[in-house]
Amino acid sequence: MKIIASNFKTNHTRSSTKSFIDTINQFLESNQIKNEVFVFPTATSFDNFNTVSNLKIGAQNAYYTKNGSFTGEIGTEQLDEFDIKTILIGHSERRHILKESQKDLTLKYNYYKSLGYTIIYCVGEPLEVREKGLTETLGYIWEQFEGIDLSYDKLIVAYEPVWAIGTGVVATAQEIAQVHKKIKKKISHPLLYGGSVKPENLEEILKIDNVDGTLIGTTSWDVEQFKQMIEITSKN
Ligand code: PGA
């Protein structure tokens, strides 16, 4: 069964997040949809949501600590309050805008792995790398796996070409297929695609070999579109 994940990034308020999650929860329940669905709201919107077991709320980011003096960060003490056991690590916005290094990501990965979190680990190349070709693209991606234990049983990988994120430019089926095939040779875990996924292209993407689901930003913030994409996911 395919996976679908919504990354809210810096969007939605506490109250709109609650209504979004309640709506999705009801939708899954009333349609008996059993696919794994993840929602990553902002940390200010965390709460004790009462959801069906296949709807998981995750953290977009957290520091590798229980608590302490790390101004602006949250740790597991804050995640535990809401029973959050899923985290996104390595998203391109954290790598490129927030300047997290591979070393930072490795420390974070190892910490959350040691606590048994489900980790969605993101990789993906910027446009200038893609323009150099497939070999360079794969070389760049392998570097993003440096220090990452790919045998971890609660690992989900997301391939998200940076040039396709939030741009409306989706990678072609062939581009996705080529990279997914190579990554799947290295890992035996679910592999999601992310980058300008929308209701209109989701089915085609889910039909590509080695695509086990999607990680969606922009179009998932609208609850009606997310419901539509959950439905498409459940049928593919
Ligand atoms: P997008 O974002 O769907 O807006 O392209 C994807 C992501 O960043 O996970």
**pLDDT tens digit string along 201-211?**
999 999 999 99
Give me the CATH number covering residue 49.
3.20.20.70
How many residues are listed for the chain in this entry?
236
Buried b (16+ CB within 10 A) or exposed e, 51-86: bbebbbbbbbbbbbeeeeeeeeebbbebbeeeebbb
Q: Which of 82, 66, 84 is nearest to 74 (CA)?
A: 66
CA 68 to ligand 1 center in whole angstroms:
31
Is the Cα dihedral 110, 111, 113, 119 positive or negative?
negative
Atom of ligand 1 nearest to the CA of 164: 5
Cβ(207)–Cβ(236) below 8 Å? yes
Domain count for the chain: 1
Atom of ligand 1 nearest to the CA of 195: 5
Q: Is residue 52 over pLDDT 90?
A: yes
Residues carrying an active site annotation: 91, 160
Percent helix, strand, coil in the chain (nearest 5)?
40, 15, 40
Q: How many CA atoms lie within 13 A of 11 on its CB side?
A: 14
Record the pTM: 0.97
**pLDDT tens digit string along 110-161?**
999 999 999 999 999 999 999 999 999 999 999 999 999 999 999 999 999 9
What percent of the chain has a predicted confidence (pLDDT) above 90? 97
**pLDDT tens digit string along 167-219?**
888 889 999 999 999 999 999 999 999 999 999 999 999 999 999 999 999 99
Pocket of ligand 1 (CB under 6 A): 7, 160, 165-166, 194-197, 215-218
Q: Ligand 1, atom 2: nearest CA belongs to which residue?
A: 217
Range of the domain at 204: 3-234
CA 217 to ligand 1 center in whole angstroms:
4
Report the alpha-carbon distance of residue 3 to residue 30 in Å, rounded: 19
Q: Ligand 1, atom 3: nearest CA belongs to which residue?
A: 217
